[in-house]
Structure 1
Amino acid sequence: MRRLKLSFLGLMILTLAVNAQDKTAVKYANTITPDDMRSKLTILASDDFGGRETGTEGQKKASRFLEEFYQKLGLQGPVDGTYRQKFNMYQSDWSEVYIKVKGKKLMNGEDFIFFGQANMDKEMKLSTVFVGNGDNIDGMDLNGKGVITTASSRDNLQKLTQSGAKAVFIASADDEQFKQTLPRQARRAMMGRLRFDKELTGDESIVFYVTKADAAKMLNSTPDKLDAAASDPSSIKARNVGVMVKEKLNTIETENMLAFLEGTDLKDEILVISSHYDHIGQNEDGSVINNGADDDGSGTTGVMEIAEAFAQAAKEGNRPRRSILFLNVTGEEKGLKGSEYYGDHPIFPLDKTVNNLNIDMIGRVDPEHEESGNRNYVYAIGSEKLSSHLKIISEYANITYTGLDLDYRYDDPNDRNRFYYRSDHYNFAKHGIPIIFYFNGTHADYHRPTDTVDKIEFDVMAKRAQLVFYTAWILANRDDRTPVDRQDDMDYGSRD
């Protein structure tokens, strides 16, 4: 475990935590129970919600479930009196993409995989050129050609496109393996990533991943001849093929869900407690549903329980000083789209948003902690990236109330998992808002149909949610907002 190295002042603060429990905070934190979490998550992660994929009826059902819950709590709908921040996204449908060889059409998702973007009005004729592994292209005329290669590295593709290639065809190293994996890759090949702009932006890119057998047909050759010509690709003669890349556009209607609790004397300052309520949905015929109990049914249930605790406190005369926005975003599984949209179209000013506490997967124990027998932990990510105070407040809340082991290993800038980039806190942090991301780590059921409610460890989940509540209670009621006194050294240019 990487533990916090505190300043002398920080150590004094934590020492004062002994016997300093706020009995009012404890009263409301104790309303967050394993049984209550089970009852909510059993609904949210049921087959009735169909895996909650963005834009689907299952996601809409989940949004209605949240809406009804927040209405019963009496929380405000801050979006023109509603709980819904509606927006549209757009997705390319690449079902009209083909390669024509000798009059026969090879179809995207059935015979090959298409990567890239373009939008042709009519079929394009290309002269194909074989370049082997692409190491010896000096002096070759590739301008406007369809280039067939056996290498698939990013550097190789960049080299070929910079040499003027109109399209690149990557020949598989193992055709049998390619055919076996094609059904699993087909949906990704057919449907582009969700985007906010209706029109395609960026440079045209036409890349096909094909079998070596089809690559050979495109050159009027054979796979064995392609292998033999690896060192002398010029021995393979060019041939014309037809290519069609036609974009059809799907409009995806979706919404973030927002519930608001107004504060008292510091009500203009906003604390955001967030989760994503979408997941990855189901297969095409609906026979396999990815219910996403942990990802992120657990975090969404946590936000609901915390909202319930604060709502009860407010009704009993213990309203927080700062306002709290309970934010359940959509489109996280599509590239953090819902939180990105909120960050670009905030309902409350970002300069008045003091912190984001983001909960994404808090219902399980990862393999490392299972092996060690330590269930009493949570990964706390990003708590000192922007503010030297926030991590101390988090530690204070934990030592005073919950006694979890806070694991900071994923704050390492060299962490290959790059979890700091991979959930919705990212779209607050990039606007300079101090965040904490609560996470239990990945496990064998991550993004699989086996991420189900029966695998959730509700006692651990409730304790983690209580930590978020206590931290929020302190942040919402202290005199000063946490200062932004550190420069985040993370690279916000890429999540890949």
Structure 2
Amino acid sequence: MRKHLLVPGLLVLVMTGHAQNNANPEKYAEKITASGLKEKLTVIASAEMEGRETASPGQKKAAAYIEARFKKMGLKPGNGNAYQMPYPVYKDEITAQTFSVNGRQFNWDKDYTLNIGTIASGEWTQHNTVFAGYGIVDDTKSRNDFANLDVTGKIVIVLDGTDDPNPAPVGNSTRARNANPASVFAKTNAAKKNGAIGLFVVTKNFPLTTATPTQGNMYLKPNTASFISASISEEMASALLGRTSQLSSDQLKQVNKGNYVAEVAIAVTKHTETLESSNVVGIIPGTDKKDEYLFITGHYDHLGKKGNVIWYGADDDGSGTVSVMQMAEAFSAAAKKGDGPRRTVVFMTVSGEEKGLWGSDYYSEHPIFPLDKTTADLNIDMVGRIDTERKTADTLNYVYVIGHDKLSSDLPVINEGVNNKYTKLTLDYKYDDPNDRNFIYYRSDHFNFAKKGVPVLFFYDGMLLADYHQPTDTIEKINFDLMEKRVKMIFHTAWVIANKDEMLKRDTPLNMPSR
């Protein structure tokens, strides 16, 4: 009797899996419409959301809106019984500080400013410093300004900028600028790697005409190791180098590298405030492979409001946010008709991307679902515009795809296959070039999945100029017809990955340089 009862059950299981693999995804893709995308983006990129700055009231309004739509669509909560995954962020304020050289007190904004984010509360006294010229380390030019200098446990003084007659391109993004060997970021890293406890950068900007806030930027992970980072005036640098009169800029360039005796005393009192942000997570449970997961992600934060000016972030990344929501609607419609995905599909909109991929970083370190059972992350960050620098004939029928030749050989086969069948977009792989100077592969939330070995595809419109990170990134500049086509292609890619028999292979080495 039990034997006969089991057979129909097995037949149902096989037929169900077979039906899901062969259900027609085109009828569900029709849920992804220009009008539906516009309706949602009109809310996300509205003045009411105030630019969706991380840990701001506007960001929390946006999270509440996304959560409400996930509920209405019938998605299940992705974080236990909750749709939101909160995580802490921090903000520092210096409430008191002093800085003296050889007993002489110098003044904030007149002579120096401190990096609030890297220095801790406390007192420091140093009896000598090390002058390292421009403090540049550039392996491509066999240059190392720290060569033959012992800076362990010491404060390093460097000049701002570079003396290189052929400097490396600066780049048009924060991450690209930081990668430049002459940037303060790169010089700081070089000093740290050589064992320094601080870096003073000599600039011509002092005295400052605009007051420097004593409240720092938000950050994700508390830094327990203090690093004394300061910008200082040429007058202050002269005192540190043992001079009784101020050296000119040209004279400072002629100073020999090496140790200089000076009594440096710094005292700082800092207060840290704990804030909260969140990712919004909704799921459609899978059927026979429900313990395997496909992620579809986009970040819903942007740059916020400064005074009365709002950074709307319609393309960056309101477009990706509503794309995730619209695909959730399509998958939900399929599930309600009995064509639910075999794998659990996780729709996650993250915050903190503009701060440094914080929401996805937090998720990757505190995963709700096992990363080794996560077949892929399809990340959508800016799919609503036409790249103003793209001059080819296909400007109304393209999308940049990043990650196609990395981590899994299945990715291009699936993505190109559905595109050839359904949408016939030009899939442009230019940003997968290991020599990409814009470092696009590292600049959105897929990266935090990729660094854990999860195969990723990142879909992007290429907007790096024009209204990128400007208040003018507004909804009327979105091309909703092209956006609809792009999102349908991503949906079809997701459909195949969610329903295929096996998880994506993890068989391709990462061919990108280290950050």
TM-score (norm 2): 0.79
The residue aligned with 1:24 is 24
SS in 1 for 2:458: strand
Amino acid at match of 2:432: D
> Could you tell me how far apart the structure 1 residues matched to 2:23 and 2:99 are?
70
Amino acid at match of 1:169: F
The residue aligned with 2:205 is 175
SS in 2 for 1:428: helix
| 1:132-147 equivalences in 2 (<5 Å) | 133=133
| 1:92-491 equivalences in 2 (<5 Å) | 92-94=92-94, 96-100=96-100, 106-107=107-108, 112-114=113-115, 117-122=118-123, 124-126=124-126, 131=131, 133=133, 148-151=157-160, 153=182, 167-172=198-203, 174-175=204-205, 179=208, 186=212, 190-192=215-217, 194-196=219-221, 198=222, 200-202=223-225, 204-216=226-238, 221-225=244-248, 227-228=250-251, 230-232=253-255, 240=263, 242-283=265-306, 286-369=307-390, 372=393, 374-442=395-463, 443-491=465-513
Q: CA 1:343–1:130 in 2, change beyond 3 Å: closer, same or farther?
A: closer
**What is the Cα-based RMSD across aligned positions, in Å?**
3.5
Q: CA 1:364–1:170 in 2, change beyond 3 Å: closer, same or farther?
A: same
Question: What do the CA deviations read for 1:139-185 (whole angstroms, capped 9, x no partner)?
Answer: 9998877654435657876787789866443221x437x847x67xx
Question: What do the CA deviations read for 1:396-439 (whole angstroms, capped 9, x no partner)?
Answer: 11011111100011111121112111111112122222111000
Q: CA 1:97–1:305 in 2, change beyond 3 Å: closer, same or farther?
A: farther
Q: CA 1:465–1:165 in 2, change beyond 3 Å: closer, same or farther?
A: closer
Query: Is the CA contact 1:275–1:329 (under 8 Å) kept in the aligned structure 2?
Result: yes
SS in 1 for 2:507: coil
Q: Larger deviation: 303-312 or 424-433?
A: 424-433
Gaps of 5+ in 2: 1-20, 136-144, 162-181
Query: Is the CA contact 1:95–1:108 (under 8 Å) kept in the aligned structure 2?
Result: no
> Could you tell me how far apart the structure 1 residues matched to 2:285 and 2:263 are?
67
Q: CA 1:150–1:482 in 2, change beyond 3 Å: closer, same or farther?
A: closer
Deviation at 1:207, TM superposition (A): 2.2
Query: Is the CA contact 1:133–1:151 (under 8 Å) kept in the aligned structure 2?
Result: no
Deviation at 1:371, TM superposition (A): 6.4
> Could you tell me how far apart the structure 1 residues matched to 2:110 and 2:481 are?
44
| 1:40-55 equivalences in 2 (<5 Å) | 40-55=40-55
Deviation at 1:210, TM superposition (A): 2.3
SS in 2 for 1:433: coil
> Could you tell me how far apart the structure 2 residues matched to 1:139 and 1:275 are?
47
Deviation at 1:221, TM superposition (A): 4.5
Query: Is the CA contact 2:131–2:260 (under 8 Å) kept in the aligned structure 1?
Result: no
> Could you tell me how far apart the structure 2 residues matched to 1:237 and 1:423 are?
43
Q: CA 1:72–1:211 in 2, change beyond 3 Å: closer, same or farther?
A: same
Query: Is the CA contact 1:292–1:452 (under 8 Å) kept in the aligned structure 2?
Result: yes
SS in 1 for 2:498: helix
> Could you tell me how far apart the structure 2 residues matched to 1:159 and 1:440 are?
34
Q: CA 1:117–1:76 in 2, change beyond 3 Å: closer, same or farther?
A: same
Q: CA 1:217–1:322 in 2, change beyond 3 Å: closer, same or farther?
A: same
Q: CA 1:224–1:372 in 2, change beyond 3 Å: closer, same or farther?
A: farther
Identity %: 39
Question: What do the CA deviations read for 1:103-147 (whole angstroms, capped 9, x no partner)?
Answer: 75522699535276232434x455576848379999999887765
Indicate yes or no: 2:59 matched with 1:39: no
Amino acid at match of 1:119: A
The residue aligned with 1:16 is none
Amino acid at match of 2:251: A
Q: CA 1:320–1:131 in 2, change beyond 3 Å: closer, same or farther?
A: closer
Deviation at 1:384, TM superposition (A): 2.9
Amino acid at match of 1:38: K
Query: Is the CA contact 1:167–1:207 (under 8 Å) kept in the aligned structure 2?
Result: yes
Query: Is the CA contact 1:175–1:213 (under 8 Å) kept in the aligned structure 2?
Result: no
Q: CA 1:409–1:57 in 2, change beyond 3 Å: closer, same or farther?
A: same
SS in 1 for 2:230: strand
Q: CA 1:230–1:311 in 2, change beyond 3 Å: closer, same or farther?
A: closer
Query: Is the CA contact 2:89–2:218 (under 8 Å) kept in the aligned structure 1?
Result: no
SS in 1 for 2:339: coil
Deviation at 1:238, TM superposition (A): 6.2
Deviation at 1:91, TM superposition (A): 3.6
Query: Is the CA contact 2:157–2:200 (under 8 Å) kept in the aligned structure 1?
Result: yes
Gaps of 5+ in 1: 1-20
Query: Is the CA contact 1:321–1:477 (under 8 Å) kept in the aligned structure 2?
Result: yes
Query: Is the CA contact 2:293–2:376 (under 8 Å) kept in the aligned structure 1?
Result: yes
Deviation at 1:95, TM superposition (A): 5.5
> Could you tell me how far apart the structure 2 residues matched to 1:259 and 1:68 are?
10
Q: Larger deviation: 154-163 or 379-388?
A: 154-163
SS in 1 for 2:122: coil
Deviation at 1:463, TM superposition (A): 1.0
Deviation at 1:480, TM superposition (A): 2.5
The residue aligned with 1:13 is none
SS in 1 for 2:25: helix
> Could you tell me how far apart the structure 1 residues matched to 2:30 and 2:110 are?
52
TM-score (norm 1): 0.82
Q: CA 1:98–1:61 in 2, change beyond 3 Å: closer, same or farther?
A: farther
> Could you tell me how far apart the structure 1 residues matched to 2:157 and 2:371 are?
49
Amino acid at match of 2:428: D
> Could you tell me how far apart the structure 2 residues matched to 1:162 and 1:262 are?
47
